[in-house]
Amino acid sequence: MARAVRVRSVRWDGFDRKAAGRRRFVRRFLAGLLAVVLVGAAATGGVWLSAKHRADTAYGRFDEAIGVADYAAALSVYRDVQERSLRDASIFSFTDTYKESLNRMEGILESRVTALYDALPTEGGLPAASLALLDGMQEIASMLLSRLARASCEAYLGGSGDIDAISSVLAQLRDVPAAASAMQGLLDEIPALVEARPAVVAADEALAGQRWLEAATGYLALADGSAGFLHDVSLARLEACRAGMREPVLARIAVLMDGSRYYTALDELGTLDRVMPGDAEVADLIAQCEVKTAAELEVWTDPIEYVAIRPLIADPAEAFDGDSYAQAAADAMLTTYEFRRILEQLLARDYILVDLPSLFGFPTVDGQVTATRRTLRIPKGKKPIVLGLEGLNYYVVRRSTGNSISLSLSADGHVVSTYPSGGALRTDADGEAIGILESFLAEHPEFSFNGARGTISLTGYECVFGAIVDADELDDRNAALLANGESSLAMTEAEIAASRKDVAAVIRSLEDHGWSFASSTYGGIDVSAASADRLRTDTAKWAAQVEPLTGPVGILVYPNGSWIPNADKRMPILKEAGFRIFCGIGATPYLNVGRDSVFIDRVPLNGYTLAHAAQYGLARFLDAVQVLDPARP
């Protein structure tokens, strides 16, 4: 019989007790951690709320302290807020709030200090209450006072404000201990500010007119010759100039270099290099110009030759056809053939073109315009010569003398003329001296110094470059057309404005390529015989109708050489109109630099003077026999 076996159940009490203990531990740990977190959160929240309350109420505490004149408390709040506003941002820092409070504090103080400052010149002294505020707020008041005082001095340098009043204010503010040193420093600079003011005003005017290099040169000179406040102002203004000048100056330099005016470009690049040291593009352009200006130069002090021509005869057959204008054309003008021969012979005799306006300067010294002859340096072995083109208005009467009838711009932006040729009209660069000279210089760039071309003198009578640019010209133009057997014109103001725009574009192109401009009076009048009223009316018309196109010109080419002496009572009319270089006629070179003006003679080159070359001493320029056109009668 089998034996029964009893299996006794086993309880795993040991294992269970361990698990329960662990569970109890976890529960106690979590409860403790929660308590810590709750306590920490409560503490953090208290800190956060306290910090936020301090940030939010900072301005109110400051404003309250200022209101009761408790400046020590106000200063303490300000310094605390200032220090907290500079901390790294965190959950407890409230940096932005403190910065906002700081700005509001400085705003209220700035209003009060500015009001006190503005009242100083009329109060005759610093009131006790004002002194208490300024003294109590220490470095804040000193900062604001220094800012206001410097602004007053800077405004004076710019042309506004009275230096005696400013000096009085600065002297009174020395009583504020925290500001005493800053005020005394400005007071010590007052003599330098008075001396520098005209130069600052001139540089500021140049900057306002976007004459960048003139402004930069002025500020550089001021900065180099000063220290302290004046030095700081000069550098700040130079920085303002620097911010705007690079692109427009480089664009101008590109125009100069395109017109072969490398010496001028190099000078301007030198200034730009001082303003913007290390600019790679500027350095590259300087290197390019230095290659083109490597010729040895020497100073020229002798008189300067000046030759003048009128519109060229492009069609000799039409000019010398025996009509009533034939003799006038033969005497007064050259043919295109003759002008080309003259250029060749001037080059062979070592002449080099120079720019008339650049030969002289007219600075204002103590309120008086002063004439000066600038130092002229030209390539060694060369002789300077000025070329003048006269009468390029293209009056109707010239249509019977084989001349061009107008100037215009070609599709590629070059100045061309429209002229008669073989019974038809042609438009290209071969009919007038401008295009012929440009072509000659393309082959012989050594004939021009620094890209000089010539000076074109204009009137306003009838037209400019053959175009009506003002309604006032229309009557005279129509009268000339009818007298020449042609139909009169009817033009709207819009058409005249379009014509004026076209002429202005021609003028800008000519200037970009080295040509300068002069006046031959508005009406081409006999200046020596004109009354003062006639001269005054004539110059007013020039200023109103032609000068807006050419820009201000300082040269008056006397029509037909009819001149007046410097002592003539009518001369102030011309000088007040801006004329300082006066050009007469003579067979020999003549140059006189007077107190406030220059007189220079020009030698006319035309059919008559070629025929009387010995009388006019033309052998120094050319061989007349080789120049004369075989087409002449």
What's the Cα-to-Cα distance from 94 to each of 47, 90, 106, rounded to whole Å?
12, 7, 18
Work out the pLDDT band at 117, boundaries 50, 70, 90. Answer: confident
In a domain, 386, yes or no: yes
For 90-99, 279-288, 322-331, 402-411, which range has the lowest pLDDT when averaged over its residues?
90-99
Q: Do 579 and 461 belong to one domain?
A: yes
Give the per-residue pLDDT at 15: 47
How much is the mean pLDDT over the chain?
89
Output 247 or 21, whichever has higher pLDDT. 247
The domain total for the chain is 2
- Asked whether residue 278 is domain-assigned, the answer is no
Tell which of 208, 224, 247 closes a domain. Answer: 208
Last residue of a domain, one of 180, 208, 236: 208
- Cα distance between residue 194 and residue 107, in whole Å: 32
Q: Residue 11: pLDDT above 50?
A: no
What's the confidence (pLDDT) of residue 32?
63
Residues 391 and 536 in one domain: yes
Q: What is the pLDDT of residues 174-194, one digit of tens each?
A: 888 888 899 899 999 999 999
Would residue 44 count as lying in a domain?
Answer: yes
CA distance 453 to 467: 23
Q: CA quadruple 485, 490, 493, 495: dihedral positive or negative? A: negative
Reading across the β-sheet that carries 424-428, which strands appear in turn? Answer: 406-409, 415-421, 424-428
Give the rounded distance of the alpha carbon of 49 from its chain centre: 59
What pLDDT score was predicted for residue 95? Answer: 78
Cβ–Cβ under 8 Å, residues 241 and 209: no
- Is the pTM above the cut of 0.85? no
Residue 265, domain member (yes or no): no
Tell me, yes or no, whether 11 lies in a domain: no
Asked whether residue 236 is assigned to any structural domain, the reply reads no
Residues 193 and 302 in one domain: no
Q: Is residue 283 part of a domain?
A: no
- Containing domain of residue 346, as a range? 297-627
Are 274 and 364 contacting, i.e. CB atoms less than 8 angstroms apart?
no
More confident of the two residues 130 and 245: 245
pLDDT of the residue at 56? 73
Please report, rounded to a whole number, the percentage of residues in the chain having pLDDT higher than 70: 90
Q: Tell me: pLDDT of 444 over 90.
A: yes
Q: Say whether both 301 and 202 belong to one domain.
A: no
Question: Are 487 and 611 members of one domain?
Answer: yes
Cα separation, 604 vs 390, in Å, equals 10
Query: Is residue 23 pLDDT above 80, yes or no?
Result: no
Q: Are 361 and 374 in contact (CB under 8 A)?
A: yes
- Banded model confidence at residue 53, pLDDT cuts 50, 70, 90: low
Pick from 208, 232, 261: which residue ends a domain?
208
Residues 308, 198, single domain; the answer is no
Decide if 465 is inside a domain: yes
Give me the mean pLDDT over the 372-385 stretch.
96
- Label residue 610 left, alpha or beta by phi (over 0 means left) and psi (-120 to 50 means alpha): alpha
Interstrand relation of 372-373 and 360-361 (parallel, antiparallel or unpaired): antiparallel
Residues 199 and 307 in one domain: no
- The answer on 432 and 306 residing in a single domain is yes
Domain CATH number, residue 465: 3.20.20.370
